[in-house]
A = this chain, B = another copy of it.
Amino acid sequence: MMEAKRKVRGRDAALSRTQIVKAAIVILDRDGEAGLTFKALAERLATGPGAIYGYIANKDDLLAAACDAIVANVMQGRKECADPFDSIKAFAVGIFDAIDERPWVGAALVRLPGQSPLVRVLDAVGQDIRALDVPADREWASTMAVFNYIVGVGGQHAANARLAHSKHWDRTEMLASLARSWSDLDAEEYPFAQSVAPQLSNHDDRADFLAGIEFILVGIRTCSRLIV
């Protein structure tokens, strides 16, 4: 017991914001959003819940800080690409993979507006769009289109993972359950969902995500009449 605590915080080591955020990430990775409570966090840090408030304003602040650490990490791993289109795709996939690995990041991104992680993502997309030499009056809309798409997929991904976690399902069981409920739908009321149910179990989230990014980028390119 004592040893587990010492691993995180030395006997006399002072608390710090980064220490707290690091512990929060461990809990989020292990138990998801629902598992991150101030009680659990304090326990891991071998202190009382009140101590955390010396470094963290509130739970949203904590979630934003944890999310920011992950997003900043994706940022750092970014490679330089000759083609800005490739650069956007690489970055988008980076964010997707991070969310895929840690679904709580997706949930935090949709829920915490104007916070630093979101600005980081928006700015990265904006820089690449700017490098495309999109007409000035299309720059903002183009950036927002890509940004909103990334955040939207992230949110859905997070919600799916949360559901799967709460029902103790893996990905296969999750898709099977969805396919089952969709094939039970009324074909009159939900013709598309009903008909697409059988294909559901063997589709690739990552490929779908990339295809969507591709559509948006091609749309931006076509609308802006960019030569590539």
CB interface residues, A 93-137, toward B, < 8 Å: 110-114, 119-120, 122-123, 125-127, 130
Query: Which B residues are CB-close (under 8 A) to A38?
Result: none
Does A181 lie at the interface of the complex (its beta carbon under 8 Å from any beta carbon of B)? yes
- A156-B110, A163-B114, A190-B119 known; A223-B212 Cβ under 8 A: no
Flag if B110 contacts A110 (CB, 8 Å): yes
Contact indicator per residue, chain A 133-169, by CB within 8 Å of chain B (1) or not (0): 0000010111111001111111110011011000000
| CB of A68, distance to nearest CB on chain B (Å) | 12
**Bound Cα distance A138, B127 (Å):** 29
Q: With A and B bound together, what is the CA distance between A208 and B182 in angstroms?
A: 32
The residue in A143, A145, A189, A220 that gathers the most chain B C-beta atoms within 10 A of its C-beta is A145
Query: Is residue A218 contacting chain B, with contact meaning CB distance below 8 A?
Result: yes
- Nearest Cβ on chain B to A88's Cβ, whole angstroms: 13
Q: Does A69 contact B (CB under 8 A)?
A: no
A193-B153 contact given A216-B216, A219-B215, A219-B217, CB 8 Å threshold: no
User: Shortest CB–CB separation between residue A169 and chain B, in angstroms?
Assistant: 11
Binary per-residue interface labels of chain A (179-205) against chain B in the complex, 1 for a CB within 8 Å, 0 otherwise = 001100100011111001001000100
**CA gap between A196 and B178 in the complex, in Å:** 42
Residue A214 at the chain B interface, CB threshold 8 Å: yes
Q: Are A152 and B215 in contact, with the CB atoms below 8 A?
A: no
What are the residues of chain B within 8 A of A130 when measuring CB–CB?
192
Indicate if A172 sits at the interface (CB-CB under 8 A).
no
- Asked whether any CB of chain B lies closer than 8 Å to the CB of A211, the reply is yes
A145 with B212: CB separation less than 8 A: yes
6 contacts between A and B (CB under 8 A): A110-B152, A113-B160, A114-B178, A140-B196, A152-B153, A216-B216
